[in-house]
Amino acid sequence: MAKKKGLWALAEKRGMIDLPFLILTLLLVFIGLAMLLSASYARAYSETGQAAYYFVRQAGFAAFGIFAMLAVTIVPVDWIRKLSMPLLAVSIILLVLVLLIGTDEGGAKRWIYLGVSFQPSEITKLAVVLTFAALISGYGEKMKTFYYGVLPFSVILLVIFALLALEPHLSCIVIVGATGAAMMFMGGTRLRWFAILGVCAVIFVLVYLHFMGYASARITAWRNPEADPSDSGYQILQSLYAIGSGGLWGLGLGKSRQKYLYLPEEHNDYIFAIVCEELGFVGAGLIILLFMLLIVRGIWLALHAKTRFCSLVMAGIVVQLALQVFFNIGVVSNFLPATGISLPFFSYGGTALMLQLFEMGLVLNMSRDCSSNLL
């Protein structure tokens, strides 16, 4: 038999990818596609005349994303580390470009068309994780000092926050900021610096809310949606109606009533409300359980990584995933004010889905080097 050569042979020498993590990821993707088809066909038919329009596009994005996920599992970790800073630079350039030539949708510039339409902020989320992991693993014990443990990360985050605030894109600021802070904490930044950074974050949020009227309106609607049921409180009330009507067992797959153009963004940010309506408390609980298992498995792999860089990358990706799931479900259930954060693997969006699957591929790649990937 001919000797195997190239990246595949090098990957095999490192070990197998983690099958439980792969299976959980694919389960969530396929369930997400099924729920997207159910949640979106009324709006798709209304807008395009093709009931499966959003599903077909999302399935294509999923296929490409799964291919990218599997392909990146054989890339050497050193390559990934070396590409972290260039990726951050590219993401910042794209954030600048989106302000100059981006598409204005609903008063916000978040999309850019360069042959294909995509959302640069999704690339920024990944770039921050990789760059922070590379810097932290390189600094080592120096992370306890202000010069190494706070300053470079704060500068990076401030530049990104400023560009995102101009879009405006509060939800991405929240995710990137929380993920970055979590990675700094895991990297060894002293707790006293977080107190100072926390005060700065509060000041930033207050200033942001003062100048961005839509954010203040969302908080008002969150506190009392019944005060304006036909305007600012409409979406959250329709979401709560969907959740409540699902009961314990749900109305049945495909039998939602709120998706018939009553609930805005039913195929996107508010798809979990349709999940609750059709699958009930039990079905929604099982999906949350799958997310929890994926997150716990990712943390387990991060704890058993052989290098600090791999551990930080896996932990950063898992933290980011957990934050998005928490914030999305919190918004849909009115536990948190509306932020525009999508549900990973479920919400419609090609850029987000492909980047999420690529990130899962990075975790699978680095799981090859884990000291233990047993069940």
Residues 6+ apart with CB under 8 A from 70: 361
CA angle 78, 84, 87 (to 5 degrees): 135
Would you state the pLDDT for residue 245? Answer: 94
CA distances in angstroms from 233 to 60, 69, 217, listed in the order given: 34, 39, 10
Helix (H) or strand (E) holding 108: strand 108-113
Whether 97 and 110 have beta carbons less than 8 Å apart is answered as no
Distance (Å, rounded) from C-alpha 236 to C-alpha 226?
9
Residues of the chain where predicted confidence (pLDDT) is lower than 50:
1-4, 373-375
Within 10 Å of residue 28's Cβ, how many Cβ atoms? 21
Please provide the distance, in angstroms rounded to a whole number, between the alpha carbons at the two ends of the chain: 32
pLDDT at 318: 98
Could you tell me the strand order of the sheet in which 103-105 lies? Answer: 103-105, 108-113, 117-118
Q: How far apart are CA 279 and CA 263, in angstroms?
A: 17
- Predicted pLDDT of residue 5: 59
User: CA geometry: angle at 357 spanning 29 and 9, to 5°?
Assistant: 120
Phi, psi of 111 (to 5 degrees): -115, 145
**Ranges of each domain in the chain:** 16-367
Separation CA 136–CA 130 (nearest Å):
10
Closest CA to 92 of 151, 149, 166: 166
| Count of C-beta atoms within a 10 Å radius of residue 149 | 22
